[in-house]
Structure 1
């Protein structure tokens, strides 16, 4: 049922807005309400009004509609004015229409207003109204009838609003109203095909939609018309979000600008990893692009410390952090991303906002919480949230393209490889020297245009603020927190020794702390130098020396070995999949189909029967042997066990005499006596040996042998 729409109404319901099909607005009431919530219509002063009567609901004022929707509303009012010239625009719509006109139309409105002001001035000076109109018309080079038409346009309008009413309106184009209802199935299919993350072209989506339309018998417009309809009805931001995802949508809005002038040097730092675009040859012969981790001061943008390794890892992060604290002091805040190398337990365990790795109650507190440093996590995969990314751009363009790296530079994109790609690799020592030189030049370069630098270098900006700031220095005990890795272990329950990476650590004081959970802090590059041991709550307990040097000399070597093993397992899994291409589910389905197609002759007998056993008294509880029924059942079970083995392996008949004792105590001592004879090498009969083999697996013997071991000869109790 169509909703009645009043062209000049001020208040609109969601149903009326949807029915009006305004450009940039959804075509359903639910979509309009969602759009209103997202755009904050309800927060605008005087923008909403409650519906009277039962059911309630909201009316939206026309002024909150998007600009294109308001233009559409103005066009409809112009059509209505052509049919009803006696009606007049209200001042709000008149000014909105004036703002939408061209500058040429605005200049014309100013000329008209000037003419009317001069007519009034002549009339007030004593001239008749007719004479005043004729004089001004001649001055403006228009007819008197035109001036009278201008006067009619502002009749009853306040002087302050005359300019808006005098603006010439362009003639309304007479176009045939399009009936899009017949194209709705096609347009829905086309929009769904076009608004996908695979980002197909509109022409490609249109071709696919026309093929579907021919199959379904739908009507469809030409390509240009369909594209015009999609652009008019689907907002640009919605198209970007559907085709480029959240990252694309965020690029439609300006990045947040943060003021750093309120900070001071070393008050806050941020860090990140960057793979530099240069091939480096390592001492072991490996050639790859190394990873660098850098700590940067947020106030000045100065690079404070850095480390290089094959891949991002917690060891290099901890080393760079330790160098920064050693050289400059302890910062108040750290801004990291949520990568494994930064969110590792050595650094950040115990931070409430950390969302990496499994959290355990036995985890030791990380270095940053112990030093009182507040953690902040940047938005993942969002470079604008990490200021250091701007510094890495300088490194990528200046340091990586250094002339001394010629032939080793690989390009910053796969399609930007230079012609001499891969012709050489820079030795690690030379690479580190050039990289350090590049960092020094980056910090000392003048003319920086940040708010805090104001034309100075990062070094000068940092030095000025650092001279007036008070940053605590780390004590020798605090240095142990970042110069070493950490792990949780448990001391030996008897001697208090610590086994860690196949090394054994012990000092005399550890014998008093046996069987306790501890936190081990160690030098990842030298496990044989000893370890520092802390309580789980952070108290220092003491130093432990390495007693047996049988493990890896470097924790990094252990990490690299584990990485190689994981790579082997991964490759083996892929190889196994190639040799077994059919999944177990497919195998089961094939067997079910084969079974269904095979004619099976039903058997007369049932496949499953319910066994019926004689009621027996359980003899598994050795404490309940005063019952004659229990003893009889036990003797029968022992006899079955001894004869079952004989049935499995037939042996020659024996004439030896052997009787099993009836009393449980005597039976147990009988078994012990046979065991002693076997150990002494004496002759043991086949029946005795067979009975002993079966009796040794019986719960009675197992229970009594445990009592015998615990209490000696007094086992009958």
Structure 2
């Protein structure tokens, strides 16, 4: 419907309350002042006649014009419904019909100078009178329209509840059937369990089993009243089974066919590896039997795919084994470089110690997927399927992708023709393993890597790899071959003895490695008499190990050479040691060196004199008497003389103690005088210094304690501190300091 009209077009419409000539419309427009309003504009192009918006027309003319040209149809750009998989086709059609009516009413109301209630009344009247142009499918779904319904639909659209406009009567009755509600839903649950346990049960089978479980009658509740009915006929069970299989399709497939559920219905994880954008950031490896026979049997093919570029490398093997994984890794690394991470499954060939040791040696992060979860390495699973379907049918000896395919190939010949034939003749087997390997490598190099890949936005794997500027980590081929060599025994760990390294009952001589050294040993697959010894972590090469019996050398010759090499090695390592021992013997003795260190470690502390008290016992007195008699045996002491002698000794000790105390007090007095002089040195001559306060003495004691920790405290200060810390003044000052903290000292 055109909203902008010229005077000629308005006159041609022959609308009520409007002139029927172009001049009459122009006079009306001039009288009503239409040219001065925003609803008037010049038509673009040659001529430039004035156009008027339909909203300038009188109300009756507007209604007639919209009725004449408006069509109730599906909007050109319908409102996108919120995702709701519960809507059936019938509900979606009803929703779209109601949305078309609401859109038509909004178009009808636009610019109409009428109240909302009047516009609704006019629109519904003309809709019910079939005065509006309505598409047949809308009229079929909504034959009549009420003002209340129109208002409700507008409200639901405005609130975003678009799907609420859809209604399916059949869907409303869903789940209310006799068998679905019988016995409180127990019959329905029993039927679901039956078809999950055995999907091939017919309606007759299910009815018979329900009779066995619930009897010949069922309890049904209708409008709140419970009634007993006879077991429904087989036809009812057939309809119910069809509905249950349709409404519980996913659950039943998961229970009855887990593989199909995992491959078709389980979440696929699209975009989970979008962070992998650079070559060699992540590889995936897996193996599968080739769908073709060779003259030497059926082989398995190991596939390695680089996720970022989708490049592939393939390796055939007669049986799954760790050595095949090692050869695949060697082939891929020499061609692409070293990856950061490799994802495998939990097969014995992938979790073997040799495989894990190879990953560790090359600084590759191994990542094993969960058991029975092929979707976690879906890229390599998919490329193997591509290989099987793209290459397999072209190979002589193709046996099909499944048992059904194999039977179809066998059926191309009659049983009489196949009678007595070998499998190789039946399937036209002619390729050897190496020939098949060459065909696979050529396919990957010439076809697959130059085929546009959907996962790379139609870019080929070759072009994707060439466009990357990421540096590639390469390994020397010889070093890689050495890392791929098998280890000795199960773990490769050995201890060197004087006879060398013992491996499988043979001794491998190691003249360059001293006895007692733990080593990690790799065996040379091309020379049984040669091995390579490394440090236990494999990060340092220590030397070769040669077995005389297996290498073809004369044992005596090899032993003589080993002794010479070992002698030179020991002499070289002990030469500097002997020189140091001579220097040590010429210098100070070891005890003198130890005592010197002990003197340096002694703390710089002067021990304070201790109070002495004469200790005497009868035995000590008798010993003194005996010593006195021994020193002067010609003059035996009588008891009185002995007592006088003892008094003399005690007086001498008292005098010594008094002398020591006097000297200590003199030292302390001298030091106190020095401290007092230091304290008053900065005062003017005419100022008399006050005596040292308890606070100042306490601060000085703390300062002396800090000096004692560093060994910088003199003997007089140490003697003063030792006496002061036992005084009542120090204890009182310490208590105050503890209560008020360091703020007390400021």
Give TM-score scaled by structure 1 length: 0.49
Which has more helix, going by share of residues?
Answer: 2
Q: Taking CA–CA contacts closer than 8 Å with sequence separation of 6 or more, which of the two structures ends up with the larger relative contact order?
A: 1
> Normalization by structure 2: what TM-score?
0.48
Query: Larger Rg: 1 or 2?
Result: 2
